[in-house]
Structure 1
């Protein structure tokens, strides 16, 4: 008959000790960590490289020769961006590069200046298509069939700040919500450092195929690209592209 009260007493003692330990432990706990930053993106799983796409004998890689400077002369403003040739008379850039244009001029890597004859854009993504009357010459883009994955090494070729043709490399950080809130649900963040004027630059994989189009950056020097799957969809469905109006009240 004495076994049950003793067991109960032991259980009570154990509970009291556990409670005391719990109370003393809570008093010694460190402060909780700060919330995760809202602009956090996954860490890269590969290291950025400094090598560019292999150069051709004339000193320019195929990627550099297909990349052009886009100059938008609007009503009281001039802005520059980058584009790349799909074929002899068609190139890709960003919608925001050609917004409110009065005249669009394209400069090739060998110094030729070509006028655009038409432009169209889409609300699906920050993408525009420009056509020219004179041949762009040079090389033309080969588009990948699949988007790059987190950790993939990429190369960006463009005209940052409207200056000289520049090649930079980085890695894909992964999919993120579009920081500009366009109609595309997600875009890809990368570590490639871009500047104003880089908008519309081709993003290349290690085979030299286009895997995306640069369109934005943030204060942490992360760049954002429209993935090639979106570009391929737009080119396969021309109805998604509408003529870009020229509007000048001056």
Structure 2
């Protein structure tokens, strides 16, 4: 079983091999078209289109650091990502698959799992359906996100196992997949064959297996008004 020491969070300050110096005071707008993924994974054409539109790229401008992550919409003005993607920020900058910048108004993080929600002033393009059940070992999955903060990518794999979360002891079970993820993939949606969200990527281990918070945990926390509190900032 993987240990916490072997896990790598896929966003946040520690995820960047080198930090830029000096930290930029402004960021180049992302209004240029973003290249489309070269693969649709195991999604149908309609599912692929929906997956592109729900994914959001996140840039965390901190006090002395810059990092990137991924997220996905759950309604017109709310997206889900990881706690470590949005924590300790001075500014969060969001952009959609077509290069449109979206203003963030607030971010909240969960204490139990590596999850966060971000509210937006501008409408998000598309919110997917959350699956009513967790995946099982052997199920095919697709991960949609922005590794390295670059173009949207779609990778595929299968559920390898269910295991106790080595980073959050009280969380309980998470699942492992062999879908390829990189730095910046934290917060990516994990989809089933019908394009429904079955989990959220938050880390990988030395064998490049990705760790995923199951959708049952996400649903339970979204239904709990006390699960999320204002995200810590660096100001």
Same fold (TM over 0.5): yes
Does 2:203 match 1:213?
A: no
Structure 2 partner of 1:71 = 59
Distance 1:39 1:118, change over 3 A: closer
SS for the counterpart of 1:111 is: coil
Q: Out of 97, 110, 117, which is 2:85 matched to?
A: 97
| Structure label with greater radius of gyration | 1
- Mark the CA change 1:87 to 1:125 in structure 2 (over 3 Å): closer, same or farther: same
| Conserved 8 A contact 1:93-1:200 | yes
Partner of 2:139: 152
Q: CA RMSD in A?
A: 1.9
Pick aligned residue for 1:114 from 70, 88, 102: 102
Q: What is aligned with 2:190?
A: 203
What displacement does 1:246 show?
2.1
Partner of 2:130: 143
CA shift digits 1:90-140 (9 cap, x unpaired): 00000000110111111101111122100111111000000011112x221
CA distance in 2, matches of 1:215, 1:152: 19
Pairing of 1:181-192 with structure 2 (within 5 A):
181-192=168-179
**1:54 aligned partner:** 44
Offset of residue 200 of structure 1: 0.2
Provide structure 1 residue ranges, at least 5 long, that are not aligned to the other structure: 1-37, 41-49
Moved segments of 4+, more than 4 Å: none
Q: TM-score, normalised by structure 2?
A: 0.81
Is the helix fraction higher in 1 or 2? 1
Count of residues in Structure 1 that have an aligned counterpart in Structure 2: 200
| CA drift at 1:86 | 0.7
User: Are 1:53 and 1:61, in contact at CA under 8 Å, matched by a contact in 2?
Assistant: no
